[in-house]
């Protein structure tokens, strides 16, 4: 049975990889992806608040019934993990270092939106509910790095982090070789203990291996992402949530309901002030808590190549770097998931990309069709089919 929808609609850890490719070719691919995204004249940008204009799907070249069925499929494939997310974490991560040290809250019902040309053409569930997003948070960490590049606080991501961050975290001979590029692509192989968690707590769980040279091995590792977040805090010298709010979230008209949490163990000294270093995920609690509507605005900013109305909030230089495939994992950029070779979503265009988090939480951006799709609490195995159905609703 098709669920009742908004009237507009009716109208796991990833495996490590070590695949070598030419960095020049990959960078060219990232820059080409950005260059291939022309901003339509007089693009629509929603004002702050709830006055987000809606359009009937047919008015924007979408089949209403097909789109309704796509949404129904997403709703029918609710994630099977417990809604009590502390239980989900306890079941998923077991080991000596898996104590939850950040805040956790139960999740809500499945919800989401489809934007076409910036207009809402489908919306379901409570899209204003603030929930955890897990590793979607990583794309927000990356955004603060992009802002640091644009503001000249970091001049080159190929430079070593130790040149700017002198808190002891990059002092060892191994860690001293780590660049910002390595941190953002999750190839840093950073070694150490941070906020009570050793990097080995998230090293290909259950598998003992020898550390590789920085830049030679890709691994999804929340301890190392948290080290990147702390390094960026050192560069900005102010809390990353304040940076994000001032530079991005307020200008795009996001609500004041989102929250970015750290851990009870992640307070650090910054110029004599105690500041919480926020986490880049929810593995041990914390991370970005945000609504689907605010996620849609964040995704739409990236669809519009970093521009919001008359302001360029993120440079195209940054976006070209962020969307450049990693040598060791072509499906990954600077904490954004890519569709290189259509490996991530076989049914979607190759130049689409997304912020992804456990749950599943998805902010998918498709420049080719001027689409943003936000999916919350869907089975990961159902994401590609949901996107296929949305794309199949396009009639022109």
pLDDT, tens digit, 9 for 90 and up, residues 267-292:
999 999 999 999 999 999 999 999 99
Banded model confidence at residue 70, pLDDT cuts 50, 70, 90: very high
Cα 171 to chain centroid distance, Å, stands at 29
Kindly tell me if the per-residue pLDDT of 83 is higher than 50: yes
Scan for tokens 């939106």, then name that residue.
Answer: 113
Mean pLDDT of the 196-224 span: 87
d(CA 377, CA 39): 31
Question: What pLDDT was estimated at residue 347?
Answer: 98
Residues carrying CATH 3.40.710.10, the chain: 138-278
Question: What is the token pair recorded at 105?
Answer: 């809250």
Question: What pLDDT was estimated at residue 31?
Answer: 55
Mean pLDDT of the 7-20 span: 38
In the chain, % of residues over pLDDT 70: 88
pLDDT digits (tens, 9 = 90+) for 324-359: 999 999 999 999 999 999 999 999 999 999 999 999
Question: What pLDDT was estimated at residue 39?
Answer: 47
Comparing 233 with 204, the larger pLDDT belongs to 233
Kindly tell me if the per-residue pLDDT of 37 is higher than 70: no
* Beta strands across the sheet bearing 353-357: 119-124, 111-116, 371-376, 361-366, 353-357, 337-338
Is the dihedral angle over the CA atoms 126, 127, 129, 135 positive or is it negative? Answer: positive
d(CA 229, CA 242): 13
Question: What pLDDT was estimated at residue 206?
Answer: 54
Mean pLDDT of the 170-181 span: 98
Kindly tell me if the per-residue pLDDT of 139 is higher than 50: yes
Helix intervals (H) in 332-396: 383-392
Question: What pLDDT was estimated at residue 95?
Answer: 78
Question: What pLDDT was estimated at residue 359?
Answer: 95
Kindly tell me if the per-residue pLDDT of 14 is higher than 60: no
Banded model confidence at residue 6, pLDDT cuts 50, 70, 90: very low
| CA atoms within a 13 Å half-sphere pointing along the CA-CB vector of 347 | 13
**Measured between alpha carbons, how far apart are the two ends of the chain, in Å?**
28
In the chain, % of residues over pLDDT 90: 84
Question: What pLDDT was estimated at residue 30?
Answer: 58
Question: What pLDDT was estimated at residue 203?
Answer: 77
Scan for tokens 């940054």, then name that residue.
Answer: 318
Query: Torsion angle, CA of 206/207/213/217, rounded to 10 degrees?
Result: -80
Kindly tell me if the per-residue pLDDT of 377 is higher than 70: yes
pLDDT digits (tens, 9 = 90+) for 94-116: 778 899 999 999 999 999 999 99
Question: What pLDDT was estimated at residue 94?
Answer: 74
Question: What pLDDT was estimated at residue 15?
Answer: 37
Give pTM, 2 decimals: 0.90
d(CA 326, CA 108): 34
Q: Does domain 138-278 bear CATH number 3.40.710.10? A: yes
């Amino acid at each position: 049975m098709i669920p009742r929808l908004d009237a507009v609609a009716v109208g796991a850890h990833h495996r490590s990889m070590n695949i070598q490719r030419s960095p020049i070719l990959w960078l060219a691919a990232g820059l080409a992806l950005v260059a291939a995204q022309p901003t339509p004249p007089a693009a629509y940008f929603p004002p702050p608040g709830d006055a987000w204009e809606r359009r009937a799907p047919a008015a924007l070249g979408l089949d209403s019934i097909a789109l309704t069925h796509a949404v129904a499929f997403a709703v029918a494939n609710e994630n099977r993990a417990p809604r009590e997310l502390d239980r989900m974490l306890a079941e998923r991560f077991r080991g000596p270092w898996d104590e939850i040290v950040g805040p956790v809250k139960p999740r809500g019902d499945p919800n989401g939106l489809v934007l076409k040309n910036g207009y809402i053409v489908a919306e379901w569930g409570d899209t204003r509910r603030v929930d955890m997003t897990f590793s979607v948070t990583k794309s927000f960490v990356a955004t603060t790095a992009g802002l640091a590049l644009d503001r000249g606080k970091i001049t080159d991501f190929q430079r070593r982090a130790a040149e700017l961050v002198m808190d002891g975290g990059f002092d060892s001979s191994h860690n001293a070789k780590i660049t910002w590029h390595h941190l953002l692509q999750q190839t840093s192989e950073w070694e150490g203990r941070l906020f009570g968690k050793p990097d080995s707590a998230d090293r290909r769980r259950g598998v003992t291996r020898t550390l590789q040279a920085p830049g030679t091995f890709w691994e999804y590792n929340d301890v190392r992402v948290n080290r990147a977040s702390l390094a960026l805090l050192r560069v900005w010298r102010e809390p990353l949530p304040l940076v994000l709010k001032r530079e991005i979230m307020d200008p795009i008209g996001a609500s004041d309901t989102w929250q970015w949490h750290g851990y009870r163990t992640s307070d650090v000294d910054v110029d004599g002030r105690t500041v919480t270093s926020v986490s880049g995920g929810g593995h041990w609690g914390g991370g970005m808590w945000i609504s689907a509507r605010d996620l849609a605005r964040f995704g739409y900013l990236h669809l519009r190549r970093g521009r919001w109305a008359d302001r360029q909030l993120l440079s195209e230089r940054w976006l070209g770097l962020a969307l450049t495939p990693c040598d060791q994992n072509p499906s990954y950029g600077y904490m954004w998931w890519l569709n290189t070779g259509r490996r991530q979503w076989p049914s979607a265009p190759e130049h689409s990309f997304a912020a992804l988090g456990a749950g599943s939480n998805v902010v998918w951006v498709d420049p080719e069709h001027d689409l943003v799709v936000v999916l919350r609490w869907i089975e990961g195995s159902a994401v590609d089919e949901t996107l296929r159905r949305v794309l199949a609703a396009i009639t022109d």
